[in-house]
Structure 1
Amino acid sequence: MDRKRKHLIRLGAGVAAGLGAAALTWAGLAANAEEPADPKGDFEAQIIGGGDVEDGQYPWLVGLGSPGEGTAYERQFCGGTVIAEDVVLTAAHCVEDSAAADLVVFSGAIDLESADVVETAVADLHVAEDYNDPIAMSNDWALLKLAEPVDVEPIGLATEPEEYDLLETAGWGDTGDGFPTTAQWVEVPFVSDEDCEAAYPDEVDAASMLCAGDLENGGVDSCQGDSGGPIMSPATDEDSDEPTQVLVGIVSWGYGCAEAGNPGVYGEVADFNDAIDEVLAGWAE
């Protein structure tokens, strides 16, 4: 079985405006369409088994898309997370073949057809130098330097690998009933490295990947269209009793969506946060 990266086919503004993202499904193309020649090609993911994101729930969640005509919904193909006022963290596989000028970021609204969506150009792009090393899809991260700051609260990064109970992931990917205009979110059980490696023998780099999903029953997952978006864990601010979120991972890949035995695989932020800091320091000079 070929691995499906969790991002959407890039249609281009003209095609997207006529076809719409909802014409695609996570399994590939719609049942009445031809299978693409390279099923490992430009795919994204969406949320299965979740519900609508509420205003303010994940202020750092943004969409990544192409510049041009059409709504943000029609042009979005990946997710991303604001980690500084002018920096977005996303998946390397979303942007590895792109230039900065090929990309825009959508922020300010959870509904991609809202008039409140803010479109921001990308001024610079950094793809992880060790992406796909030591194995395919390892170190699946990239940074986008925005042309101007966005009015968005950034999220903090996880700094140490941990065992979790439940994690939360969000995005505009396939829900099983099409592609929503409003971002979806879902809780997904953490899967240990051992169980993750058993699910995907010889395909998991435990140092730079983590897994989440209901191994026994399936039913909850990120899916096509969610790639590059966040998977998060609650944390407690030392100065507050209110729970906050930390970014644990980046939606990366998996087989199918929400299938029992096939958890979602995410880039593990704690493994490469030092490398991220180095890029940010260079951009600040």
Structure 2
Amino acid sequence: MDRKRKHLIRLGAGVAAGLGAAAIAWTGIAANAEPVDTKGDFEAQIIGGGDVAEGQYPWLVGLGSPGEGTAYERQFCGGTVIAEDVVLTAAHCVEESAAADLVVFSGAIDLESEDVVETAVADLHVAEDYNDPIAMANDWALLKLAEPVDVEPIALGTEVEEFDALETAGWGDTGEGFPTTAQWVEVPFVSDADCEAAYPDEVDAASMLCAGDLENGGVDSCQGDSGGPIMSPAGEDQVLVGIVSWGYGCAEAGNPGVYGEVAEFDETIEAVLAGWE
């Protein structure tokens, strides 16, 4: 299949330790992922976005491998701080990893900044029903950090809602390479019916949601953004609506991004958290 998990390896960019764990991005249904097509009639510029401002999404973190090199060189997925010592990410980012294979980068939106804080992962929980009832369903995992991070958590969305637009962010491919500074973009919400029409027999509406410009393309998450957040519009009550998961290509018309829908498994997440207390 050509489905692309939005999970990154920067081969040849200093990734040494943990490479085996990170390499799952290119196996199974993610095999033979093709480069981002920047030759369409849209401007592949996350795609179509801009720099995240310091403090804009304090809960946005990078997930990477321990070892030598900068955080930028070792980051391969995103994540979201949902408690002072817990990060929510995508199951496909960590499904074949041990906690010791992982670190979290917080404290700065520039992964080459001296302000980046690296925190070890002490425990890991992958959704027990990941890939059930279909591939990529229930694509979520929790990371218990070895120590709290000085980061404002975001609240989980608890109600399934429809929106005009959502916001997503990460360090993934922009169509022109991988930025050191996190990017963000506003993406139109796509209804379950339109999502299922775009990906016949591949969408589990109970655990997935779609977002993107169906008609024009040009805005999307992309390779390297997996596990990061998609959020309700900015405001005092901004909540985590979903988790960057998969899609065909990036920012292509007719192929919206697909996200794990947090409101469908928030109670299960809370149960895991309670067991960690």
State whether TM-score is above 0.5. Answer: yes
The superposition leaves residues 147-202 of structure 1 with CA deviations (integer Å, 9 ceiling, x where unpaired) of: 00000000001001001101000000000010000000000000000000000000
1:161·1:271 contact (CA, 8 Å) conserved in 2?
yes
The superposition leaves residues 98-130 of structure 1 with CA deviations (integer Å, 9 ceiling, x where unpaired) of: 000000000000000000000000000000000
In 2: Cα distance, 1:147 partner to 1:269 partner? 24
Tell me how far 1:46 sits from its aligned partner.
Answer: 9.9
Tell me: CA distance 1:234–1:179, structure 2 relative to 1, closer, same or farther (3 Å).
same
Q: Could you say what the CA RMSD is over the residues aligned between the two structures, in angstroms?
A: 5.4
1:278 maps to 2:267: no
- Unmatched tracts of structure 1, length 5 or more: 236-244
1:25·1:178 contact (CA, 8 Å) conserved in 2?
no
2:38·2:175 contact (CA, 8 Å) conserved in 1?
no
In 2: Cα distance, 1:4 partner to 1:88 partner? 23
2:216·2:252 contact (CA, 8 Å) conserved in 1?
yes
Tell me: CA distance 1:124–1:29, structure 2 relative to 1, closer, same or farther (3 Å).
closer
The superposition leaves residues 1-28 of structure 1 with CA deviations (integer Å, 9 ceiling, x where unpaired) of: 5111000126488456999999999999
Q: Hey, what does 1:225 align to over in structure 2? A: 224
The alignment partner of 1:13 has SS state of coil
In 2: Cα distance, 1:101 partner to 1:22 partner? 13
2:243·2:260 contact (CA, 8 Å) conserved in 1?
yes
Tell me: CA distance 1:17–1:188, structure 2 relative to 1, closer, same or farther (3 Å).
same
The superposition leaves residues 241-266 of structure 1 with CA deviations (integer Å, 9 ceiling, x where unpaired) of: xxxx1000000000000000000000
The one of 252, 256, 260 equivalent to 1:263 is 256
Tell me how far 1:270 sits from its aligned partner.
Answer: 0.1
Tell me: CA distance 1:46–1:275, structure 2 relative to 1, closer, same or farther (3 Å).
farther
In 2: Cα distance, 1:261 partner to 1:42 partner? 13
- What is the TM-score when the length of structure 2 is the normalising length? 0.88
After superposing the two structures, state which structure 1 stretch, 4-13 or 193-202, moved more: 4-13
In 1: Cα distance, 2:41 partner to 2:27 partner? 12
1:88·1:144 contact (CA, 8 Å) conserved in 2?
yes
2:9·2:22 contact (CA, 8 Å) conserved in 1?
no
Tell me how far 1:45 sits from its aligned partner.
Answer: 13
In 1: Cα distance, 2:141 partner to 2:149 partner? 18
The alignment partner of 2:15 has SS state of helix
Tell me how far 1:96 sits from its aligned partner.
Answer: 0.1
1:43·1:224 contact (CA, 8 Å) conserved in 2?
no
Tell me: CA distance 1:103–1:265, structure 2 relative to 1, closer, same or farther (3 Å).
same
Runs of 4+, deviation exceeding 4 Å: 10-33, 35-46
- Unmatched tracts of structure 2, length 5 or more: none
1:29·1:36 contact (CA, 8 Å) conserved in 2?
no
Tell me how far 1:234 sits from its aligned partner.
Answer: 2.8
1:81·1:90 contact (CA, 8 Å) conserved in 2?
yes
1:26·1:223 contact (CA, 8 Å) conserved in 2?
no
2:5·2:25 contact (CA, 8 Å) conserved in 1?
no
In 1: Cα distance, 2:228 partner to 2:195 partner? 20
In 2: Cα distance, 1:92 partner to 1:42 partner? 33
1:21·1:73 contact (CA, 8 Å) conserved in 2?
no
- Count of equivalent residues: 274
1:25 maps to 2:25: yes
Tell me: CA distance 1:54–1:119, structure 2 relative to 1, closer, same or farther (3 Å).
same
1:45·1:227 contact (CA, 8 Å) conserved in 2?
no
- What is the TM-score when the length of structure 1 is the normalising length? 0.86
After superposing the two structures, state which structure 1 stretch, 116-125 or 11-20, moved more: 11-20
Q: Hey, what does 2:15 align to over in structure 1? A: 15
